[in-house]
Amino acid sequence: MRPIRRFVVHCSESPDGRPDTLEDIRLWHMSPDPRDPSKPWSDIGYHWVIERSGPPRAGRPVERPGAHVGGQNADSIGICLIGTRDFEESQLLYLEGLLHALLIRFPGAEVCGHTDLDSGKTCPNFNVGAWWRERQKHNTG
């Protein structure tokens, strides 16, 4: 198994409320794109996708590096929330639960947002580190 140092939270950047799925993102990533010569990719770039309604769904196998943050894929796991800014509370609860489960498997990994690793991105459009610290504070105090 490859070493995992980070869990990177992303958003799909699709219109809030639109019920995109893991299959939709897989199709986007595996289809040729004239604006992105790196595509098509071999699979979805994320390891997990949290849709608007429902639990996290497994995408690319965790054993394989993702395609979600340039230069940071070798030792990270990519998690994508469907939407842009207006996430469902259930999505955030599922994200929290997934992160706890991943930390059991990969203790000591950092939780961050895409923008924390690429200042040219705003994804996932909220401060993941602050959100995670607040959730941990809430759960312990």
Q: 40-93, pLDDT tens digit by residue?
A: 999 999 999 999 988 999 999 999 999 999 999 999 999 999 999 999 999 999
Candidate from 30-39, 71-80, 95-104, 123-132 with smallest mean pLDDT? 30-39
Domain ranges of the chain: 6-140
140 has a pLDDT exceeding 90: no
CATH superfamily of 6-140: Peptidoglycan recognition protein-like (3.40.80.10)
**For the residues 117-134, what does the mean pLDDT come to?**
96
DSSP string, the chain: -----EEEEEE--SPTT----HHHHHHHHHS-BTTBTTPSPSS-S-SEEE-SSSS-EE-S-TTS--SSSTT--TTEEEEEESSSS---HHHHHHHHHHHHHHHHHSTT-EEEEHHHH-TT--TTSS-HHHHHHHHHHHHH-
